[in-house]
Amino acid sequence: MEGFGIHIAGLRKRYGEGEAVVNALKDVTMTVAPGEVVGLIGPSGSGKSTLLKCLGAVIEPTAGRMTLGDEVIFDDGWKIPDLRALRRDRIGFIFQAPYLIPFLDVTDNVALLPMLAGQPNDVARRRARALLDALDVGHRAKAQPSQLSGGEQQRVAIARALANQPPVILADEPTAPLDSERALGVVRILNEMAGQFRTAIIVVTHDEKIIPTFKRIYQIRDGKTFEEKGQGAG
């Protein structure tokens, strides 16, 4: 499966034991190409968060296989030793709320992870400014997060997710608090960024405003994935 951004095959996740057992993921198979944005939808309790947590190396799957790029990261057990480095360097997370650090300015919110990963501060800040420019919030680079609108804060959160140029971004309900125009703006940015940085992006969403924008959608029902063609052009 070389060349794919993300490939998941036969993934299973069981929580608990005995009578308390929950088979949250029963058979998940999914592929996202570099540069592609796919939607992941499904009813409450169907396993969406569990899948993102497995892929984000936050919890350990019970069985199956996950590949990032041409590297197998999980095959009935983790295949890479440093999961913290995997999360920090290779996976960007975007959440429903921006979760910016209130006492750092916008630039340092974006530059922090690369700095922690060892990038010189001036290089990390220069790159952060370039990303903020690309996301149309460069003019707010020196502001504190509390001085930004909700849509601006979410764009800063997207810049932060892209700062280490991860091959994978996992977005959990990134547009839920936004109005229609801003929600569609976030999706447009994710598509542009995916194309520009060859990032594979999975967007978990219930948001009816953005579901029609996806070209490909995975439905998850009762722990199993079903691929659907979306209505979207981009």
Distance, CA of 117 to CA of 139 (rounded, Å): 26
Separation in Å, CA 72 to CA 69, 131, 224: 8, 29, 21
Q: What is the size of the binding site for ligand ATP (CB under 6 A)?
A: 12
Q: Which residue of 6, 8, 11, 24 would you call a contact of ligand ATP, by CB under 6 A?
A: 24
Binding of residue 22 to ligand ATP (CB under 6 A): yes
Task: Tell me whether residue 133 or residue 222 sits nearer to ligand ATP (CB atom).
Answer: 222
CA atoms within 13 A of residue 195's CA, in its CB half-sphere: 7
Binding of residue 103 to ligand ATP (CB under 6 A): no
Binding of residue 15 to ligand ATP (CB under 6 A): yes
Binding of residue 92 to ligand ATP (CB under 6 A): no
Distance, CA of 200 to CA of 34 (rounded, Å): 5
Binding of residue 97 to ligand ATP (CB under 6 A): no
Termini Cα distance of the chain: 24
Binding of residue 174 to ligand ATP (CB under 6 A): no
The first and second tokens of residue 47, run together, are 């396993």
Binding of residue 48 to ligand ATP (CB under 6 A): yes
Q: Which residues bind ligand ATP (CB under 6 A)?
A: 15-16, 22, 24, 42, 44-50
